[in-house]
A and B are shown apart, each in its own frame.
Chain A
């Protein structure tokens, strides 16, 4: 559980991280250190490896046959790929929200309750408290407090995505991974999620994959630009968007390709 103590400066650090799908090299030696309690955007053209990188962090890539990884990765000081590493604990610490909202076909309450119930054995009023808190944190409580027993699928797309965020928050993760969390949403819902992302960095470390450069600029403290499986440039968003060092970055952020 997250007790609010200050964290070390770098929550995630990767050194010469390489990832393969079969023979295809998706990450060609990526090195970076991600600051705690900040928002970091991952940008780059499709197939550049940004999602692969994100999915290395909670080992979601494990499900893909032929996937393997090489190099050094630390998340809060521990190697998630170490032999005997606790995968479920990793995923409790490193939550993930997907491109398409994927609420479970159960009630709104159950959607949020399933994590704390199964992980921490909470029930009764304690569980209700955690659910309420998570829904509040995800800025959804006001909209659903009276309809908690309705199906999660009855919500609008944007609400569903916030429900998924609440579901993740209820497990009390430190790191939040978001894989294009707004790309299936309308502009108003997108604005709400963006606001939420900025609010969440007070207590969490966020990594957000996005194709929307303005969004990356708006929400993130740091931005990482990926291309062809390499981390081309990584730095403060103001700097990366304002005066990028590399010419590829310059071309990409000015919309010349990608």
Chain B
């Protein structure tokens, strides 16, 4: 292989090397620029919200009931409502989404029909949430006669989160190395045993992350609950019983949307404060997801 590369060729090569280095630098510049723009946007948005909203945050704001026709006092009923909505949504999404994801990954196979279902799931995951709101209104609120209620909100938000949960569950399961699956089957475990004992424990963190993130996102969505579960003028009564399920519930995104729409009646400080609380809530949820991930990763590699 010791062919002689003549001088002309070598010089051409050097020129090309220099050009390649220049174009590398250009791309690096573009990438850095894009990163800076993104970063500034995020900092701008979060910064604005924090600057305008943080001053309203204090214990009373978080724990008190609203007063004087919502123009004063705290937002505890809305926080509680959002938590209730999220909790119930998770309750519905967990079994249905996880079982659906397992089915899609392990049992559905690859027929044309399954392909159709898969692309439908992807489309549903990208469907604007107001569509889910209208569907919930038509089906849960009106046809099932649940009325504007916590239960209708749960079902609507669950529908909204399901596609993402199914898709993330399926991909978490598919990400489990084939070698582990083969190892289980080669031991004579049944398919079900292999899924339960080997696949699911290895996919658990991915599945949990998907559930937490998508319910967290659902918690911040106003349109689905606008039409199915939301109420603005909270009476402030907070007792919890079975009746609570049939009643509409105040919550953070709705409070924001409605408070803003009232145009000037509601003090800005309350609106920005609500913004901070909602953002904080979603951040907390995401932190939870990150923790789940980190812990299970550490567990699987622990010595």
Contact = CB atoms under 8 A, between A and B. Distances in A.
Contact of B183 (A118, A153, A164): A164
A96 B303 contact: no
A114 B187 contact: yes
A45 B142 CA distance: 69
A237 to B, nearest CB: 26
Contact of A171 (B179, B187, B197): B187
A18 interface: no
Contact of A89 (B188, B193, B201): B188
A102 B300 contact: no
B198 interface: yes
B242 interface: no
Nearest to B189: A118
A141 B184 CA distance: 22
Contacts of A104: 180, 183-184, 198
A102 B197 contact: no
Interface residues of A, number: 30
Contacts of B179: 98, 100, 102
A105 interface: yes
Given A98-B183, A102-B177, A114-B197, A171 B302 contact: no
Contacts, number: 69
B17 interface: no
A65 B187 CA distance: 21
Contacts of B187: 91-92, 95, 114-115, 167-168, 171
B238 to A, nearest CB: 45
A58 interface: yes
Interface in A77-118: 88-92, 95-96, 98, 100, 102-106, 114-115, 118
A218 interface: no
Contact of B303 (A88, A89, A151, A168): A151
A98 B182 CA distance: 9
Contacts of B300: 105, 151, 153
B239 interface: no
Contact of A60 (B186, B302, B303): B186
B48 interface: no
Contacts of A167: 183, 187
A154 B183 contact: no
B183 A119 contact: no
Among A88, A90, A105, the one with the most B-chain Cβ atoms within 10 Å of its Cβ is: A105
Interface in A210-233: none
A102 B190 CA distance: 18
A92 B189 CA distance: 8
A256 interface: no
A65 B110 contact: yes
Q: Give the interface centre of B110, B180, B185, B201 by most chain A CB atoms within 10 Å.
A: B185
Contacts of B177: 102
Nearest to B196: A118
B45 interface: no
Interface in B142-159: none
A98 B185 CA distance: 12
Contacts of A100: 179
Contacts of B189: 88, 114-115, 118
A20 B156 CA distance: 49
A102 B183 CA distance: 7
Contacts of B184: 104
Contact of A168 (B182, B186, B193, B202): B186
B301 interface: yes
Contacts of B198: 104
Interface of A: 58, 60, 63, 65, 88-92, 95-96, 98, 100, 102-106, 114-115, 118-119, 150-151, 153-154, 164, 167-168, 171
Interface of B: 110, 177, 179-180, 182-190, 193, 197-198, 201-202, 300-303
7 contacts: A60-B186, A114-B197, A118-B197, A151-B301, A153-B301, A167-B183, A167-B187
Given A65-B110, A102-B177, A115-B187, 16 more contacts: A63-B182, A88-B188, A91-B187, A98-B179, A98-B182, A100-B179, A102-B182, A105-B202, A105-B300, A119-B188, A151-B300, A151-B302, A151-B303, A167-B183, A168-B186, A168-B187
Give 3 closest A-B pairs by Cβ, nearest first. Answer: A91-B188, A92-B188, A96-B186
